[in-house]
Structure 1
Amino acid sequence: PASINLIIDISSRKRAEQALQESEKRFHELTDLLPQIIYEADADGNLIYANRIAFDRFGYTEEDFKHGLNVRQMFAQDDLERVSADFRTMIEGKGGQEHKGEYMALRKDGSTFPVTIHSSPIVVNGRITGLRGIIIDITERKRAEVAIRQMNKKLNLLSVITRHDITNQLTMLVGFLQILEMKQPDSLTNEYFQKAKTAAERISDTIRFTKEYENLGVHAPFWQDCHTLVETAAKDAQLGSVTMKNDLPAGFEVFADPLIVKVFFNLIDNALRYGGKITTIRFSAEESDGDHIVVCEDDGIGISAVEKEKIFDRGFGKNTGLGLFLAREILDITGITIRETGEEGKGARFEIMVPKGMWRMAEKGS
């Protein structure tokens, strides 16, 4: 019987396979040099690949890997449900192109450590077949955060104790000055007592300021409605016959420190104290190159050109000189700035410059 022998040249295929193997080898060598954990997992969560540092950090061996490891084995029980839900969301294509999460990882020996994970889907022929990503050990960052919190706690405690002791001594000092003032009727001595009382009042104002300032930045910034902030601040101000116009649109929010309500109060209070015979204080909003400007203006005597920047300096002014200084410090936490642009004789005009990303228009019902 006749036979036919078919010979196929597979040199090109072999070369392609060899090139692929060399490429994978270079990839593995490079990822083994990285200080972060690199991983790939299939749609069921089974690990397909992990670099060398992954085994070091999690305490597994390559032999464990060969027998099969699932990502769910590598997270603490308290975070397991959230990890599974996030993994499932990404596999189902609902998590977008990238997912970032913070979890408590679990080593083979049962010990835990905090991590941040950046993951993205593996897409083959339009279908998600798994996830790949980077796992970053944030143990040192967490320790630093705890240390900072402890330090702030101790500093705040010291501030409270010091302020309490100074306030008690100051109360005694003011009381003694009043007694001595009643026993010294001549005008020259009375002038010195008045100066001493003024100094004591300044010290008292400074102590009150330190109480407010120590809370600056303690709580995380969040989105706050500016129209509501003005309404809240106006309730605490002694407006008298002055008309308050709140033309800020409802839903206009800024991302700022919780103390921002004091900024609006200080602007209102500043106008009432130094504006002269003002009749109206108005808040409004403007837009400029993607930024938003919150405007506070009055129809008073205004501020001279030489004082426009000085009014934000600590201690400058007729009263304590702390109100506008505090306002600038509060806004600065989230990159918001403030300036005075009014014309002397025509009223003060304060502009709060809110950069893009720090403002938004909230949807109704949100």
Structure 2
Amino acid sequence: MVGFTAAAVLLFIGSFKFELFDVVPLALEAIINAVDDGIVVIDPGGRILFVNDRLLGRLGRSEEDLYARPLSALSPELAERLEEVRQGEPMDVSVPGSVSTYQVKTTPILDSEGSLTSELLTLRDVTEEREYSERLRMANVKLSLLASVTRHDILNQLTVVSGYGELLARGRTQASTCQEYGRRIASAGISIERQLRFARDYQDLGREPPRWQTAWEVVSKGKELGLGSELRVNTDLDGIELLADPLLYRVFSILLDNTARHGVHATEVNIGYEKRDGRISIVYQDNGAGVALEDKERIFDLGHGKGGGLGLHLAREILEVSGMHIHENGGPGGGARFEITVPPDRWRQR
């Protein structure tokens, strides 16, 4: 708010106490052209008297385009909502010719007798603040959803552990049944561990800056950490490097896990790339049962599927943070085929 306050107070005091508009107009113009905020002065009838150079430059307009014209020539939205702004609450508006969002405040300029001579509008560029606020809001929504799903799934698994543990504690169970109960308890424990690992990775996402990573090394690390160690993985990534979040390897561990869990008799995975219009697509193809048509988009939703949709949702989030996108486009019965689209500035080949 410094820009708002400084510009408004300077012009108000100067015009009211020292008749700055009359005494040192050149000095005043130099000052208001130097401030970072956009400044507009309108007469009591709403016609534009002055627009500072900073705002003109941002809009690609000239003073001649706007002088003596109604405020709507600068911003129809601002002209329409000016009375609301005058009530004292800062308001966000858009200005044609600029992709920025501006917060507007007004300051009346009075003569020595208290009569209104003109009105000062200060427009502060709040685009980055609003984008940051929106990202923060979305992050909170996602974290809230994550906490809800994780809590629900862990409680379900703890119910399994508690139930089978209680049956075992009674001590009247046959050995074969005890083994089955033990396997189910162990499976529940693995599921809880997976949930907590997912929450940790989600929390760490985006904390570190992106870095260049050799694609085949990323795939190799993903295989080491995933459940797909029994799968035959063929890579043809030919010196491809990707600029991505350090968690990129988790994308491939998740895809391999997905094939191992749901790929029904899948034994092999091929990972290669295709170049298109300066971009590349990293293509992951297995020889499993494939993905049903109605699930091709839903598999990336948090909470979808037998495993709660955690893995593929996290894979998509890691890629989105890195400016990449993933979708599944395998044919019926032809195995799962995941395609990761990488923009031109996010890959290179050595």
- The answer to whether structure 1 residue 215 and structure 2 residue 204 are counterparts is yes
Structure 1 349/321 Cα, relative in aligned 2: closer, same or farther at 3 Å? Answer: same
Determine which of 225, 238, 245 is the counterpart of 1:257. Answer: 245
Give CA-to-partner distance per residue, 1:56-107, whole Å, 9 cap, x none.
xxxxxxxxxxxxxxxxxxxxxxxxxxxxxxxxxxxxxxxxxxxxxxxxxxxx
- The answer to whether structure 1 residue 225 and structure 2 residue 214 are counterparts is yes
Structure 1 249/203 Cα, relative in aligned 2: closer, same or farther at 3 Å? Answer: same
Match of 1:309 in 2: 297
3-state DSSP class of the match of 2:204?
A: coil
Determine which of 311, 318, 322 is the counterpart of 2:310. Answer: 322
Structure 2 CA distance for aligned equivalents of residues 178 and 320 of structure 1: 24
More helix by share: 2
Match of 2:271 in 1: 283
Q: CA deviation at 1:279?
A: 2.6
Structure 1 236/334 Cα, relative in aligned 2: closer, same or farther at 3 Å? Answer: closer
Q: Assess if the C-alpha contact under 8 Å between 2:161 and 2:188 holds in 1.
A: no
Q: CA deviation at 1:31?
A: 6.9
Structure 1 319/172 Cα, relative in aligned 2: closer, same or farther at 3 Å? Answer: closer
Q: Assess if the C-alpha contact under 8 Å between 1:202 and 1:320 holds in 2.
A: no
Match of 1:349 in 2: 337
**Percent identity among equivalent residues?**
35
3-state DSSP class of the match of 2:344?
A: coil
More deviation, 320-329/200-209: 200-209
Q: Assess if the C-alpha contact under 8 Å between 1:298 and 1:349 holds in 2.
A: yes
Structure 1 241/202 Cα, relative in aligned 2: closer, same or farther at 3 Å? Answer: closer
Q: CA deviation at 1:29?
A: 4.4
Q: CA deviation at 1:305?
A: 0.6
Match of 2:282 in 1: 294
Give CA-to-partner distance per residue, 1:202-229, whole Å, 9 cap, x none.
5554333211211111111111111110
Instruction: State the number of aligned residues.
Output: 220
Structure 1 CA distance for aligned equivalents of residues 200 and 284 of structure 2: 26
Structure 1 CA distance for aligned equivalents of residues 297 and 159 of structure 2: 37
Structure 1 204/272 Cα, relative in aligned 2: closer, same or farther at 3 Å? Answer: closer
Structure of higher CA gyration radius: 1
The one-letter code sitting in structure 1 at the alignment partner of 2:34 is L
Q: After the TM superposition, list the runs of 4 or more consecutive aligned residues in structure 1 that deviate by more than 4 angstroms.
A: 25-32, 170-173, 196-204, 238-241
3-state DSSP class of the match of 2:282?
A: strand
Aligned alpha-carbon RMSD (Å): 4.5
The one-letter code sitting in structure 1 at the alignment partner of 2:331 is E
Match of 1:178 in 2: 165
Structure 1 240/326 Cα, relative in aligned 2: closer, same or farther at 3 Å? Answer: closer
Determine which of 234, 243, 267 is the counterpart of 2:232. Answer: 243
Structure 1 277/199 Cα, relative in aligned 2: closer, same or farther at 3 Å? Answer: closer
Determine which of 298, 308, 327 is the counterpart of 1:339. Answer: 327
Structure 1 304/27 Cα, relative in aligned 2: closer, same or farther at 3 Å? Answer: farther
Structure 1 205/241 Cα, relative in aligned 2: closer, same or farther at 3 Å? Answer: closer
Q: Assess if the C-alpha contact under 8 Å between 1:205 and 1:320 holds in 2.
A: no
Gaps of 5+ in 2: 1-24, 37-127
Structure 2 CA distance for aligned equivalents of residues 256 and 208 of structure 1: 20
Structure 2 CA distance for aligned equivalents of residues 173 and 299 of structure 1: 33
The one-letter code sitting in structure 1 at the alignment partner of 2:199 is T
Structure 2 CA distance for aligned equivalents of residues 272 and 292 of structure 1: 26
Q: Where do 1:15-30 residues align within 5 Å?
A: 29-30=29-30
Structure 1 295/173 Cα, relative in aligned 2: closer, same or farther at 3 Å? Answer: closer
3-state DSSP class of the match of 1:342?
A: coil
